[in-house]
Chain A
Amino acid sequence: MTTATTLPAWFTARQQAAQTRYESFPTPRRGDEEWRFANFKQLDFTGFDKAQRSAGFSRPEALVSRSTGLEAPAAKFIFRNDTLVSSDSNNLPEGVICLPLAEALVSHGDLVEAHFMKQETRLGSAKYAAWHEANVSNGMFILVPKNVEVDGVIEVHHWIDGANTVIFPHTLIVTEAHAKVRVVDIFRSTTELDPGVAVAFNDLCAGPGSSLDYVAVQALNEVTRVIQINETSAARDANAKGFILNTGASWARNESLSRLEGPGSHSDMLSISIPAREQEYDQRTFQHHVSEGAYSDLLYKNTLYDHAKTIFSGLIFVDERAHHTDAYQTCRNLLMSDTAEANSMPGLEINADQVKCSHGSTSAQIHDDEIFYLRARGIDPARARQLIALGFSIEVLERIGHEGLETLLLTFIEAKMTGLTC
């Protein structure tokens, strides 16, 4: 299988063009609207190199056993530094293409080309999208054909291993008409001490009447930085759900764009972030209503401890002909310390008629009366605050609508909250 490793010409050409763009685009700087409040120091990637494919890796079985996830995933893939370590996809329905991207580029080059990075990155990270495109070598290509439903969840692990390593994982998911799939990406580091960078991209293309749920768990070590760009398109009557959990990394930049392209399309954009210590999460979102009669609903919740910092900037954009749009956007911040900082910039631009839109953001600490109520039931103050914070996140978690995934995410959330002083 690995003998036919010639990459298609279109892909090589795009990588070259992307490299040129990457080099020519300026690094974001103060004054760029898409980088308001951002920490520009985080954008210096000097000294970080793309991982060498085979360098110094002798014990795949140890990584496999550390790749804990769902009890019985529909398929499971494990990558270390963008190289496949292990895969199991024997139980998928017939016709489903679920392959490492490196393999799909060779075996299904035309299909990949039809969907690969089609949208223009418009939330500030065009330079880093180009960096990703120029360097991407692996990830997943998942295509679910018409009327096929994948039961369960396709689970993908991405590990960064070794100091000063950069990975460029790509997740491309396509659901054809009335197809259904759920995918979870889990990003982690093999050690707590090795700095790394992940420049991840996910392309989600939900075809007519299909259902596409995508969950990303970012639990990298706290000396690693991550840029994650999500681009979703939803055709007529499609249901697209994107969810990001941030517990790890020293700095994370998430850009999420949903394009509602057909009437009746529905996009849920969800996120839970739990930064502590000096962690910074910078999230930018765009709900683009191209079609009339579509629905988008964004709910981002941040629970901030210690000196953590978050930035949320969201825009609902309703095109001229996108009448009868329903679009909602909420960012809520729970401040667990006096020194945490939450910045929210909700936005709305409506160019159509008969539109229902709302946007809002709140920041609050836990109310004393709430703490009193829990303490009056015998729960100590630290546990009371933890329970309330957990409940705050669980409200978003429940929107995933899949018990196994909710339980998995809860383990990451609880692992993060355990040991945090509040």
Chain B
Amino acid sequence: MSLHIQDLRATLEDGTEILKGVTLEIPKGEVHAIMGPNGSGKSTLSKVIAGHESYVVTGGSVTLDGEDVLEMSIDERSRAGVFMAFQYPSEVPGVSNANFIRAALQARLPKGEEIDAVAFYKSLYKKMDLLDMDRKFTARAVNEGFSGGEKKRNEILQMMMLDPVYGILDETDSGLDIDALKVVAKGVNAMRSPERGFLLITHYQRLLNYIEPDHVHVMSEGRIVKSGGAGLALELEEKGYEFLKEEPALA
């Protein structure tokens, strides 16, 4: 059982090819990290998996436990268990955080069934405590006026509440100070389980000091060009992405 990306190709609406055949399998229970320089396509990969409409899939497949993810609508993918934590989460003025998360949970229930409000708040508060989030964030409009760190914590809070099978974190570490980074990592680590997989997309190795990956992949120009263990991240940190310029020549 896994999230399986096979030879995935995608272009922008104008035809510019961004993903040029990405293959990656994330079995449940594993944490994979994708690193790479800016413009390598790593954020695009997460958006294509989530179903962002700015991209056109031109080839390949994404399956979740054998189910065709690309056939699903954006919201179906989420309900099927794929969660994407955004690099730049949207603000939703006038919609309180609690009501937003409730609406997302409600969307997962059969018609006519209602969320148990008491259990919901109990669960919400417990997770907010773990993420050091003040209770006032339940009543505040989603992400509105949140600092960068608060937005990222809020993404992790949503992930914890929605309890996905796969969590994809798109540059969740960017713009975070070390304390916020530790809190985010705490949330992810608390969710690690044999039943769940993660894909961490990051530019820096720093995040991986706090969330230890099982596998690290390097992406460049729309492809995964190198894969290894946690050590690969450290190697990249030390040597930078310069080797990418030489290595394809060797291959």
Find out whether the CB atom of B162 lies under 8 angstroms from the CB atom of A387. Answer: no
**Chain B residues positioned under 8 Å from A379 (CB to CB):** 75, 103-104, 107
Interface string of B36-50 (1 = CB under 8 A from A): 000000000000001
Contacts A390-B95, A394-B95 known; A380 to B90 CB distance under 8 Å?
no
**Chain B residues positioned under 8 Å from A390 (CB to CB):** 94-95
**Chain A residues positioned under 8 Å from B58 (CB to CB):** none
* A378 to B86 Cα, complex, angstroms: 14
CB B46 to nearest CB in A, in angstroms, measures 10
Find out whether the CB atom of A392 lies under 8 angstroms from the CB atom of B94. Answer: yes
**Chain A residues positioned under 8 Å from B108 (CB to CB):** 378
Interface string of B55-85 (1 = CB under 8 A from A): 0000000000000000001110111000010
* A378 to B77 Cα, complex, angstroms: 7
**Chain B residues positioned under 8 Å from A380 (CB to CB):** 75, 107
Contact of B100 among A368, A377, A393, A398 (CB under 8 A): A377
Say yes or no for A381: interface residue by CB 8 A criterion: yes
Find out whether the CB atom of B92 lies under 8 angstroms from the CB atom of A387. Answer: yes
Say yes or no for B220: interface residue by CB 8 A criterion: no
Say yes or no for A25: interface residue by CB 8 A criterion: no
Find out whether the CB atom of B53 lies under 8 angstroms from the CB atom of A372. Answer: yes
* A194 to B74 Cα, complex, angstroms: 44
* A105 to B92 Cα, complex, angstroms: 50
Q: Which of A375, A378, A387 has the most CB of B within 10 A?
A: A378
CB A18 to nearest CB in B, in angstroms, measures 42
Interface string of A18-48 (1 = CB under 8 A from B): 0000000000000000000000000000000
Say yes or no for B231: interface residue by CB 8 A criterion: no
Find out whether the CB atom of A373 lies under 8 angstroms from the CB atom of B92. Answer: yes
Find out whether the CB atom of A378 lies under 8 angstroms from the CB atom of B90. Answer: no
Contacts A379-B104, A383-B107 known; A372 to B52 CB distance under 8 Å?
yes
Say yes or no for B228: interface residue by CB 8 A criterion: no
Say yes or no for B158: interface residue by CB 8 A criterion: yes
Q: From residue 336 to 384 of chain A, which have CB atoms closer than 8 A to chain B?
A: 367-370, 372-381, 383-384
* A375 to B78 Cα, complex, angstroms: 8
* A394 to B99 Cα, complex, angstroms: 12
Say yes or no for B208: interface residue by CB 8 A criterion: no
Q: How many A-B residue pairs have CB under 8 A?
A: 79
Interface string of A384-417 (1 = CB under 8 A from B): 1001101111110010000000000000000000
Contacts A383-B103, A391-B141 known; A375 to B95 CB distance under 8 Å?
no
Q: From residue 38 to 76 of chain A, which have CB atoms closer than 8 A to chain B?
A: none
CB B63 to nearest CB in A, in angstroms, measures 19
Contacts A369-B90, A393-B94 known; A378 to B162 CB distance under 8 Å?
yes
* A408 to B104 Cα, complex, angstroms: 24
Find out whether the CB atom of B53 lies under 8 angstroms from the CB atom of A368. Answer: yes
* A384 to B74 Cα, complex, angstroms: 12
Find out whether the CB atom of B90 lies under 8 angstroms from the CB atom of A387. Answer: no
Find out whether the CB atom of B104 lies under 8 angstroms from the CB atom of A378. Answer: yes
CB B25 to nearest CB in A, in angstroms, measures 23
Q: Which of B51, B94, B95 has the most CB of A within 10 A?
A: B94
Find the B residue at minimum CB distance from A374: B92
CB A103 to nearest CB in B, in angstroms, measures 41
**Chain B residues positioned under 8 Å from A384 (CB to CB):** 75
* A375 to B53 Cα, complex, angstroms: 12
Find out whether the CB atom of A375 lies under 8 angstroms from the CB atom of B75. Answer: yes
Say yes or no for B175: interface residue by CB 8 A criterion: no
Contacts A380-B107, A387-B100, A391-B141 known; A375 to B74 CB distance under 8 Å?
yes
Say yes or no for B229: interface residue by CB 8 A criterion: no
* A373 to B170 Cα, complex, angstroms: 13
**Chain B residues positioned under 8 Å from A388 (CB to CB):** 92, 95
Find the A residue at minimum CB distance from B78: A378
Q: Which of A370, A373, A398 has the most CB of B within 10 A?
A: A373
**Chain A residues positioned under 8 Å from B79 (CB to CB):** 378
Say yes or no for B89: interface residue by CB 8 A criterion: yes
CB B162 to nearest CB in A, in angstroms, measures 7
* A379 to B101 Cα, complex, angstroms: 10
* A93 to B108 Cα, complex, angstroms: 49
* A7 to B94 Cα, complex, angstroms: 49
Find out whether the CB atom of A377 lies under 8 angstroms from the CB atom of B158. Answer: yes
Find the B residue at minimum CB distance from A301: B94
CB A315 to nearest CB in B, in angstroms, measures 27
Find the A residue at minimum CB distance from B143: A373
Contact of A394 among B73, B74, B94 (CB under 8 A): B94
**Chain B residues positioned under 8 Å from A375 (CB to CB):** 51, 73-75, 78
Find out whether the CB atom of A376 lies under 8 angstroms from the CB atom of B103. Answer: no
CB B97 to nearest CB in A, in angstroms, measures 11
**Chain B residues positioned under 8 Å from A369 (CB to CB):** 90
Find out whether the CB atom of B84 lies under 8 angstroms from the CB atom of A376. Answer: yes
**Chain B residues positioned under 8 Å from A378 (CB to CB):** 75, 78-79, 104, 107-108, 162
Find the B residue at minimum CB distance from A391: B94
**Chain A residues positioned under 8 Å from B95 (CB to CB):** 387-388, 390-391, 394
Say yes or no for B93: interface residue by CB 8 A criterion: yes
**Chain A residues positioned under 8 Å from B101 (CB to CB):** 377
Find the B residue at minimum CB distance from A394: B94
Find out whether the CB atom of B74 lies under 8 angstroms from the CB atom of A376. Answer: yes
**Chain B residues positioned under 8 Å from A387 (CB to CB):** 92, 95, 99-100, 103
Contact of A376 among B50, B92, B93, B141 (CB under 8 A): B50
6 A-B pairs besides A375-B74, A377-B158, A381-B75 with CB distance below 8 A are A373-B86, A375-B73, A378-B75, A379-B107, A383-B103, A392-B93
Q: Can you name 20 A-B residue pairings with CB atoms under 8 Å?
A: A370-B92, A372-B74, A374-B103, A374-B104, A375-B74, A376-B51, A376-B75, A376-B77, A376-B84, A377-B100, A377-B101, A377-B158, A377-B162, A379-B103, A379-B107, A390-B94, A391-B93, A392-B94, A393-B94, A395-B94
Q: Which residues of B contact A (CB under 8 A)?
A: 50-53, 73-75, 77-79, 84, 86, 89-90, 92-95, 99-101, 103-104, 107-108, 141, 158, 162
Query: What are the 10 closest A-B residue pairs judged by CB atoms, nearest first?
Result: A391-B94, A378-B78, A373-B90, A391-B95, A394-B94, A375-B74, A377-B104, A375-B75, A378-B79, A378-B107
